[in-house]
Amino acid sequence: MEKHTKQPQKTSGQRRAAARLRLFLVLIVLDIALIVGTVLMLPTAFQKTDRTTGETMEWLGVKTITVKGNTRYDDEAIIDISGIRVGQSIFSVNKRKAVENIREMFAYTEAVTVEVGLSRHVVITVTETQELGAVYLAGDPVKKKEGRWMVVGRDGRGLMELPVESERPFRRVYLKGADTVGETVGGAVLSENDLRDILKICDAMAENGLVGVGEIDLSDRANIRLNWKNQITINLGNNSNLEYEIKVAVRSIPKVLSRHGETATGLLNLSQYSDSSITTPHIVFTPSSILDAENEAKPEENPPADGDEKPETTTTTAKPR
């Protein structure tokens, strides 16, 4: 037969202690509910209306909104698109959303921070991107869109479109042959690989004082070229040693001008510095007169037959080469 163990009876003291514990827990729950309810009601309970502006001032409402670092856009436009308003509770300010809104609307803003303190003053700090250059975007007859320049920032995003009025963008470096991944202002335009190489070149030029480069030609990745003052073409070869080749170019250009004259034009070939198999790379400068003579000496690929006339050539203007 099964044996039943008799549970010990609780004493009256134990029963009173358990009742007090239950009452204590109930009181704690009620206190928490009261606190939560009070916090939720505070913003509306302490709302005030500014007599001057008519703005509704919530509990711990924002007093002022200041924009710093902005030189291109209207401060009020940035504040408006941020979604933050004077009078709203500092606890309801959505900083992440404000940053997203500002960067999406204003292309030149590379970074944005929003600071909100118990002083109830909001500070929006904008870090503007620097222009890197411009790429050419071909037109689309179907969409009835003409070719145009797209100015690109150091973050690879499109900054603004410009009409094509010459073979190169006005006062900006032409990023010729660069791969593009998009065509919209505010969106990614340059591919990551080309952006990395262009940044290397531009940073090296700034560091070594190479000024006057109006074109970075990436059309041939084995022979990346720079156009210096429409006077000397600098062949850097591939992208394996770009920074050092810029240093070599800075040292070589004065020597070329000293030997061939200040107005000398031609090709400065530094491509051997990008070939790791060459232990003693050479710097070769070829004047334009020799380059022209070599081009004239090359036979035509399809020479016209006797009696045939050479086809006429047409010239188009305002189209990047």
Q: At what angle do helices 95-105 and 75-82 cross, to 10 degrees?
A: 130
Spatial separation of the C-alpha atoms in residues 283 and 268, rounded to whole Å? 7
- 20-34, 71-85, 265-279, range with the lowest pLDDT: 20-34
* Joined tokens for residue 293: 């003579």
pLDDT tens by residue, 84-130? 999 999 999 999 999 999 999 999 999 999 999 888 999 999 999 99
Q: Which of 219, 179, 220 is nearest to 196 (CA)?
A: 179
Mean pLDDT for 139-164 is 90
How large a percentage of the chain has pLDDT more than 90? 63
Q: Which residues contact 177 (CB under 8 A, 6 or more apart)?
A: 217, 218, 219, 220
Specify the higher pLDDT residue, 307 or 115: 115
Would you tell me how many other CB atoms lie within 10 Å of the CB of residue 221? 14
Distances (CA, A) of 231 to 234, 238, 266: 10, 22, 7
Provide CATH 3.10.20.310 ranges for the chain: 49-128
Residue-level pLDDT at 318:
39
**Residue at token pair 């003693």:** 280
Residue whose entry in the numeric block shows the structure tokens 């890197």? 132
The pLDDT score that the predictor gives to residue 35 is 75
In the block, tokens 């790791």 appear at 276
| Mean pLDDT within 137-155 | 88
**CATH 3.40.50: which residues of the chain?**
191-298
DSSP 274: G
- Give the three-class secondary structure for 28: helix
pLDDT band for 37, please (50, 70, 90 cuts).
low
**CA atoms lying within 13 Å on the CB side of residue 303:** 6
Residues of the chain above pLDDT 70, percent: 79
CATH architecture assigned to 49-128: Roll (3.10)
Q: Tokens at residue 102, please?
A: 């500002």
Over residues 245-260, the pLDDT tens digits come to 999 999 999 999 999 9
The answer to whether 190 touches 198, Cβ cutoff 8 Å, is yes
Q: Which residues make Cβ contacts (< 8 Å) with residue 241, sequence separation at least 6?
A: 273, 274
Mean pLDDT of the chain: 84
CA distance 226 to 213: 6
The amino acid that residue 49 corresponds to is T
Q: Model confidence over 272-304: pLDDT tens digits?
A: 999 888 889 999 999 998 888 777 766 655 544
Looking at domain 191-298, its CATH architecture is 3-Layer(aba) Sandwich (3.40)
pTM here is 0.71
The secondary structure element, H or E, covering residue 253 is: helix 242-260
